Amino acid sequence: MGQLDNLTGPAALKKLDHGELLDLVRETREFLIHQVSRTGGHLGPNLGVVELTIALHRVFTSPRDSILWDTGHQTYVHKMLTGRADRFDALRKRGGLSGYPSRAESEHDLIENSHASTALSYADGLAKAYALQGATDRAVVAVIGDGALTGGMTWEALNNIAAGQDRPMVIVVNDNGRSYAPTVGGFAEHLAALRTSHRYESLLEWGKKVLAPAPVVYDALHGLKKGMKDVFTPQGMYEGLGLKYIGPVDGHDIKAVEFALRRAHQFRAPVIVHCVTRKGQGYPHAENDEADRFHAVRVMDPETGRAAPAPGTSWTSVFARELIAVGEERDDVVAITAAMPGPTGLSSFAERFPERSFDVGIAEQHAVTSAAGLATAGLRPVVAVYSTFLNRAFDQVLMDVAMHRCPVVFVLDRAGVTGDDGASHNGMWDVPLLTLVPGLRMAAPRDAATLRAALREAVEVTDGPTVIRFPKGQVGPDIHALAVSGGLDILRQGAPGGPLLIATGSMAGLGLAVADRLSELGTETTVVDPVWIAPLNPALTALAARHSLVATVEDNLRTGGLGSVLTQALQDSGAATAVCSFGIPRRFLEHGSRGEVLADCGLTEEHIVRTLTERLTERTIGHQAGPGRGHEHTEALDKEQS
């Protein structure tokens, strides 16, 4: 059995000698490549932190010492070392390990951190609390990537951390030069200058080759009193913040990392340990020019590094191609991304129009207000982000864009249920949040054709922001409208006055399947897609008032969703039409496949058909029994559905 098989927990790491540690490093990388290639997940980031994670658990004692990860997708090795290696067969699957830290999984996961740039603020709060409680024997360690250092919240935290020189904290900068894509901006250039210091590199390489066989001398090299901080690299920025600095340190040299961490811990003050690592270390496919492809992988062949091609066409690629077409026609269209040009479909636009493409780093708030500036100057900015990440910039959308009536186009990828990335990544909050914004228009296209049309409509708007939301995964076949009435796409015509089903975005296919099943049961249902779901189309309110029962099916929160807005509009108009809303409940969702999570939310053909059939039956009974009984049964069903 190898070192990984014999590992009983992080405490056992402290007993291993250097040779055994090197065996553990090799076995850990082999395990990661083997397991993640079978399940999918974040491979590149975790291959890059193997030595760093082992060193952290040798120097500090988790969970007594608080080790915080920013972001949490680099915690696979941490999970392995804290007793969860035997659960990787079900990584990111229902009932299996989460792809991010999970408090429900282990006491070693202190925060469930899956959005970047937050760990230092958590760490600041913990350090303050430990100081107030007199817990001087508890260390606070935050691991943050160079990409996350482009986020403004990081610098807000550093400003406060630097003021607490009596509050010990170790800040490990895991510097691999990348977030998802290469890290951008002035701070990235500063780190690059540090990591490429010729004096540092030459001395470190000399030490490895000549002094490595002599541990005492080697340790002395890393422990020179003035050290790399003062002699070998310029640290004006960190000194200006009042923070001590150690580094750069070779993040793949366990001895060097351990020495730096122990030295930082002894300072009893906030210290930055700058570790230079390589994303994808130890896996040749992930170390080459395609490194970004291995940030997060699907199930793949570990020998070739190739995954089977995804069937069909993705929503993202449809948007990417159409944006280029629009850009060819209009030279005022510019694109903005927050450190994710590839996943949001902007890479191809950036290749075609590099001068009109802006990657601002992990800084969604800045991206939105910068877009407002671009729009104010007469350009038409398209901001492409994951739906869940726009939550961070709501105030900027409201006050900096909408209040100024800036024509910014927001394209929200991964809207609705995403599934295997867990609670934080489901794009379920965008609709209720953004429908609060005055003057904002929002579209939820149902297929490739309506996505292309919505994008072209959005860039024509001149008096306020527009939003286009679409889900993760493959786009289905186009669903053609039978007719268009008042801006509403009629997808199926049912009996006059009968049930009306309003299906938004990718739920259109489900809505039609429900109508087909109800037809088999003797109920002809009208199905419409408003495409533009905000502001509420008055034609939809008028249409709903003419039907006996209205149901909305939407891939977002029911609270504040289209059904909720429509109910209020019908009440305001005096209509007595009942609205039955099917959507995502107001709770954090357990990770699993998209299908599993949708089923948990009741967004399945079976559940919707059963519920609507019961509702129709109750209404019939209510009419036969008189107004009183019917009203009571309707209220009971409303309560049950809520």
Q: Is residue 416 part of a domain?
A: yes
Say yes or no: 348 and 202 in one domain: no
Say yes or no: 64 and 165 in one domain: yes
Model confidence band, residue 105 (pLDDT cutoffs 50, 70, 90): very high
The residue-averaged pLDDT of 357-361 equals 95
Say yes or no: 134 and 283 in one domain: yes
Cα 54 to Cα 634: distance, rounded to the nearest angstrom: 60
Residue 146 reports pLDDT greater than 70: yes
Residue 382 CB neighbour total at 10 angstroms = 29
Q: Which of 212, 252, 242, 244 is nearest to 227 (CA)?
A: 244
Q: Is residue 140 part of a domain?
A: yes
Alpha-carbon distances, residue 195 vs 9, 201, 240 (angstroms): 33, 8, 19
Residue 159 CB neighbour total at 10 angstroms = 12
Alpha-carbon distances, residue 91 vs 83, 86, 282 (angstroms): 14, 10, 21
pLDDT value at residue 52: 97
Q: Which of 453, 455, 487, 451 is nearest to 471 (CA)?
A: 451
pLDDT value at residue 63: 96
The residue-averaged pLDDT of 240-256 equals 88
At which of 242, 266, 294 does a domain end?
A: 294
At which of 441, 475, 509 does a domain end?
A: 475
Model confidence band, residue 322 (pLDDT cutoffs 50, 70, 90): very high
pLDDT value at residue 228: 40
Single-letter amino acid code for the residue at 203: L
Say yes or no: 490 and 366 in one domain: no
CATH number at residue 511: 3.40.50.920
Say yes or no: 284 and 370 in one domain: no
Model confidence band, residue 428 (pLDDT cutoffs 50, 70, 90): very high
Residue 218 reports pLDDT greater than 90: no
Residue 289 CB neighbour total at 10 angstroms = 6
In tens, the pLDDT along 611-625 reads 999 999 887 666 554
DSSP letters spanning 57-122:
HHHS-TTTSEEEEESGGG-HHHHIIIIIGGGGGGTTSTTS--SS--TTT-TT------STT-HHHH
In tens, the pLDDT along 258-309 reads 999 999 999 889 999 999 999 888 888 887 655 567 888 888 888 888 887 8
At which of 454, 475, 496 does a domain end?
A: 475
Cα 357 to Cα 337: distance, rounded to the nearest angstrom: 8
pLDDT value at residue 181: 58
Known binding-site residues for thiamine diphosphate equal: 73, 114-116, 147-148, 176, 283, 364
Model confidence band, residue 193 (pLDDT cutoffs 50, 70, 90): low
Burial label for 14, CB within 10 Å (0-12, 13-18, 19+), is exposed
The residue-averaged pLDDT of 322-332 equals 98
Residue 473 CB neighbour total at 10 angstroms = 17
Contact 56, 261 (CB under 8 A): yes
Residue 97 CB neighbour total at 10 angstroms = 24
Q: Is residue 497 part of a domain?
A: yes
The residue-averaged pLDDT of 469-478 equals 96
Cα 577 to Cα 540: distance, rounded to the nearest angstrom: 13
CATH number at residue 82: 3.40.50.970
Say yes or no: 446 and 558 in one domain: no
As a dihedral over the C-alpha atoms of residue 450, residue 455, residue 457, residue 458, rounded to 10 degrees, the angle is: 140
Say yes or no: 554 and 414 in one domain: no
Residue 370 reports pLDDT greater than 90: yes
Known binding-site residues for Mg(2+) equal: 146, 176
Q: Is residue 622 part of a domain?
A: yes
In tens, the pLDDT along 371-412 reads 999 999 999 999 999 999 999 999 999 999 999 999 999 999
Q: Is residue 308 part of a domain?
A: no
Residue 237 reports pLDDT greater than 70: no
Q: Which of 131, 69, 127 is nearest to 103 (CA)?
A: 69
In tens, the pLDDT along 506-546 reads 999 999 999 999 999 999 999 999 999 999 999 999 999 99
Q: Is residue 301 part of a domain?
A: no
pLDDT value at residue 397: 98
User: Which range, of 224-228, 302-306, 462-466, 593-597, averages the lowest pLDDT?
Assistant: 224-228
Say yes or no: 370 and 488 in one domain: no
Better pLDDT: 72 or 353: 353
Say yes or no: 471 and 495 in one domain: no
- 556 phi and psi angles, rounded to 5 deg: -165, 175
- Domain of 370? 313-475
Q: What does the mean pLDDT of the chain come to?
A: 87
Q: Is residue 427 part of a domain?
A: yes
pLDDT value at residue 299: 87
Percent of the chain exceeding pLDDT 90 equals 70
The residue-averaged pLDDT of 181-185 equals 62
Residue 455 reports pLDDT greater than 70: yes
Model confidence band, residue 240 (pLDDT cutoffs 50, 70, 90): low
As a dihedral over the C-alpha atoms of residue 258, residue 260, residue 266, residue 272, rounded to 10 degrees, the angle is: -130
Cα 423 to Cα 100: distance, rounded to the nearest angstrom: 10
- Number of independent structural domains in the chain: 3
Active site residues: 279, 364, 392
Contact 510, 603 (CB under 8 A): yes
Say yes or no: 503 and 440 in one domain: no
pLDDT value at residue 227: 38
Say yes or no: 493 and 463 in one domain: no
pLDDT value at residue 33: 93
Q: Is the dihedral of CA 255, 261, 264, 270 positive or negative?
A: positive
Model confidence band, residue 8 (pLDDT cutoffs 50, 70, 90): confident
- Treating both helix axes as pointing N-terminal to C-terminal, what angle do 18-39 and 254-267 enclose, rounded to 10 degrees? 100
Contact 467, 410 (CB under 8 A): yes
Q: Is residue 307 part of a domain?
A: no
Checking DSSP bridges between strand 526-529 and strand 488-492, what pairing results, if any?
Answer: antiparallel
Model confidence band, residue 352 (pLDDT cutoffs 50, 70, 90): very high
Residue 180 reports pLDDT greater than 70: no
DSSP for residue 293: G
Say yes or no: 276 and 194 in one domain: yes
pLDDT value at residue 169: 96
Most confident of 233-237, 411-415, 418-422, 572-576: 411-415
Element (H, E) at 439: none
pLDDT value at residue 636: 41
pLDDT value at residue 223: 44
pLDDT value at residue 226: 36
Contact 587, 539 (CB under 8 A): no
**In the block, residue with structure tokens 């060193």:** 55
Cα 359 to Cα 540: distance, rounded to the nearest angstrom: 39
